[in-house]
Amino acid sequence: MNKINPLMKADPVKRELIKNALVTVADNMIALVIRTSRSVVVKNNLDFSASILNGHGEMVAQGLSLPGHLGATEPALRGCLEHFGDNIRPGDILCNNDPYSGASHLNDLFMFRPIFVGDELIAFLSIIIHHTDMGGRVPGGNAPDSTEIYQEGLRIPPLKIMEAGKPNETLLRIIRTNVRVSDMVVGDMLSQMSSLVAAETEFRRIISDYGADTVRFYMSELIDYAERLTRQGIAALPDGTGEFTDWIDEDGAGGPPVRIQVRLTVQGDSAEIDFTGTSPQTSGAINPNRYFAVGLSLAVLRTVLDPSIPANAGFNRAVKVITPEGCFVNPRFPAPVGARGLAGFRVRHAVSGALAMLLPDRVGACVGGSEFALVLAGYPKGKSPFLTLEFHNVTGIGGGPDRDGQDGGPYGLANIANVPVEVIEAEGPVRVECYAFLPDTGGAGRYRGALGLVREYRLLEEEALIQLRSDRQVNRPYGLFGGDPGAPGRIIMNPGTPEERVAPAKFIGKMRQGELLRAEMPGAGGYGNPMERDPHAVVNDVLQGKISVEKAREIYGVAVDLAGHADLDATRALREKRAS
C-alpha cells in the first residue's frame, strides 16, 4: 500500500499546485454541504469539517475547518481501519461517532470515503458533521448533567454507512428511529455522503492530471514539508517554559470547579504541552476526550507560527501533548463527553495563557463569551416536533500587546459562524428581542478587552424543554500583565418581571410561552496596566457608549469633561494620585 518511489524528487511548484488542488477538493465538499444540508447548525452555523488523508490514515490537507474536529479525524479513521482491516472496498463510506473508538462526541459523525487506484488504497476523503440530535435522554445531546455516555444517545461504532455504492438502509433506519428530528438528521447525513461521492470525482481528476505515483509521492512530501516548516518555526521561538491555570466554574452535575493546568515547553525545534495537574474527569458531560483536547492545543500553537504551513499531520509530529489518563482532558470509559465544547474553549484559553508566558509580545488576553449553547425542544399538539439548537459563537477578542480586542470579533480557534437572528426566528418558535453589546464589560488595560454581548430569547410555543450550557460566572476571562479580567456572565429568566430570577450557568428545565431568557456573556480580558491607556482612547470609548464616564474615571483615571473631551490636567492628577 502506498509505495513511494525513492528516486522521485520534490518540485516546489508542483508541490504547491497539488497542495492547492487537494485543499480545493476539501473546500468544495464544504460548499456542497452548505447547499444541500437541512439543519441550521450545519448550513448556517457551519459546524462541520472536511479533509483528505493518505492511504495510511494521515491527514494531508484540510478545508476551512474546526480545530476540534480535525484533532479527532485521524483517530476516528484509525478506529475504522482497526475494525475493518482489509475489508474496505471501492464505493464504501465508513462512519464512526464513538468517542471511545477515536471520534469526538456522539453528535459528531465522521465519514470516510476510500479512494482506490486499481487494487491500491491511495487516500481517504473525510467529512465530519455535528448532527442536531442523536437521541439520548435530552434533546440535542449537550446536557452537562449526563453521568455516562449511554445517556447521551446513539453510539455508532466503526461501520459502513455505504457499501459498494449502496447506502446501508439498516443503519439509516436505526438512526431515523432513534433521533427526534429524523428528517433533518438523516437529510444532513445524506448531504454528508453525497459530498464524499462528489469529491471522489474531483480527486480522480487530480490523479488523471498528475498520475497516481505523483499524487501519492506529493501527499507524503506535503506531510514531511509541513513538519520541516513547523520545526523551523518552533526553533525560531525562544526556548523556555510557560505555565498557566484556568478554571471552569463547575461541571453542571454537582461537581466542583475544574482546574485546567498547562505547562508548555519549547526546546529546540519541538514543543511539549503537558496537562499534568489538571483536575480528574468530572461527574458530568463537559469532559473533552483526548483527541478533542489535543487538536485544540495544537491549534493554539499554530497561531504564533507561519500561517502558510500546510495544515496536516506533519505539524503534529513536532509537538507532544501529554494528557494523563483519567484526568479531565482524557477521561476513562464510560465518561460522558456530550457537552465537551465548553471544555474545548477552556483548553484553548489555558494553552493560550501558557503561550503568553513565553511570548508576551505576541499573545493577547482571554477572549470573552461564555461558551453559550442553548437547546429548545418540544412536541406541540398537532405539529411536528421542534428542536432549536443555538451555539452563540460570536464573542470578543482579548486585548493584545499592541491593540484593543475586537468587539464582537470571531474567535479564530472556533471557526463557527454566527447564526443571524432572522434565521433563528425562522427555524424555531422563538423571538430574539435583544442582541447588543454590554457597556463596561470589557477588561480594562492599556489595551481594552472586547465588550460582552447579550441576547434575549422569548418562547412563542406553548412549552419547551430548555437546555443551557454556559460558564464564566465565577472565573472571569483573564487579563494579562496588569490587565483586568472581563466582566462575568449572567443568565436571567424573565428580567424586569415579578418572576425574575438569576439562573445557573448550566441547567435543564421547562420554559413556558411568553417567558424570556436573557443571556449576558462575559467581556474579554484586558492587556497591560489600565493607567497606561491613552486618555483619548478612553474618551473615544465613552463617546461610543462602550464605557461610562464613571468607569473611565474609576478604572482608567481619565476625567471626561462636559464637552466629551479628556481633561488632561485632571487626568494627570487622578493617575498621579493612583500611582502614589
pLDDT tens readout for residues 8-29: 789 999 999 999 999 999 999 9
Q: Is 315 exposed, middle or buried (0-12, 13-18, 19+ CB in 10 A)?
A: buried
**pLDDT attached to residue 5:** 66
Residue that wins the pLDDT comparison between 419 and 192 = 192
* Sign of the CA dihedral running 416, 185, 292, 221: negative
**pLDDT attached to residue 394:** 65
**pLDDT attached to residue 72:** 93
The mean pLDDT value for 89-105 works out to 97
**pLDDT attached to residue 286:** 95
Q: Taking the mean position of all CA atoms in its chain, how far away is CA 1?
A: 34
C-alpha span between 359 and 420 (Å, rounded)? 36
Task: List pLDDT tens digits, range 271-306.
Answer: 999 999 999 999 999 999 999 999 999 999 999 999
* Sign of the CA dihedral running 37, 39, 42, 45: positive
Q: What share of the chain is helix, strand, coil (3-state, %, to 5)?
A: 35, 25, 45
Tell me what the pLDDT averaged over the chain comes to.
94
**pLDDT attached to residue 418:** 83
Task: List pLDDT tens digits, range 354-394.
Answer: 999 999 999 999 999 878 899 999 999 888 889 988 887 66
Q: Taking the mean position of all CA atoms in its chain, how far away is CA 36?
A: 23
**pLDDT attached to residue 412:** 67
Grid coordinates representing 208?
A: 488523471
Task: List pLDDT tens digits, range 456-510.
Answer: 999 999 999 999 999 999 999 999 999 999 999 999 999 999 999 999 999 999 9
In one letter, which amino acid is 178? N
Lowest mean pLDDT among 115-124, 443-452, 566-575: 566-575
Task: List pLDDT tens digits, range 128-161.
Answer: 999 999 999 999 988 999 999 999 999 999 999 9
CB 121 within 8 A of CB 1: yes
Report CA Rg, the chain: 25
Which neighbouring-strand residues pair with 492? Answer: 502, 518
Residue 4, pLDDT > 80, answer no
The mean pLDDT value for 298-323 works out to 96
Grid coordinates representing 458?
A: 422569548
Q: Angle of helix 535-543 relative to helix 549-556, nearest 10 degrees? A: 160
Task: List pLDDT tens digits, range 495-517.
Answer: 999 999 999 999 999 999 999 99
Cβ-based neighbour number of residue 254 at 10 Å: 11
Task: List pLDDT tens digits, range 231-284.
Answer: 999 999 999 999 999 999 999 998 999 999 999 999 999 999 999 999 999 999
Question: Alpha helix locations (H) across 37-136?
Answer: 40-43, 67-84
Residue 30, pLDDT > 80, answer yes
Q: Taking the mean position of all CA atoms in its chain, how far away is CA 67?
A: 6
State what percent of residues in the chain have pLDDT above 90: 87
**pLDDT attached to residue 2:** 54
Kindly state the greatest CA–CA separation across the chain: 81
Where are any strands of DSSP class E within 174-269? 240-248, 258-267
Q: pTM of this prediction?
A: 0.95
On the question of a cis peptide bond just before residue 67, with omega within 30 degrees of 0, the verdict is: no
Residue 580, pLDDT > 90, answer no
**pLDDT attached to residue 7:** 65
Band (pLDDT 50/70/90 cuts) for residue 411 is: confident
Band (pLDDT 50/70/90 cuts) for residue 566 is: confident
C-alpha span between 324 and 322 (Å, rounded)? 6
| Inter-CA distances, 511 with 318, 326, 462, Å | 49, 36, 9
Residue 126, pLDDT > 60, answer yes
C-alpha span between 85 and 43 (Å, rounded)? 34
C-alpha span between 318 and 475 (Å, rounded)? 33
Task: List pLDDT tens digits, range 418-439.
Answer: 888 999 999 999 999 999 999 9
In one letter, which amino acid is 169? E
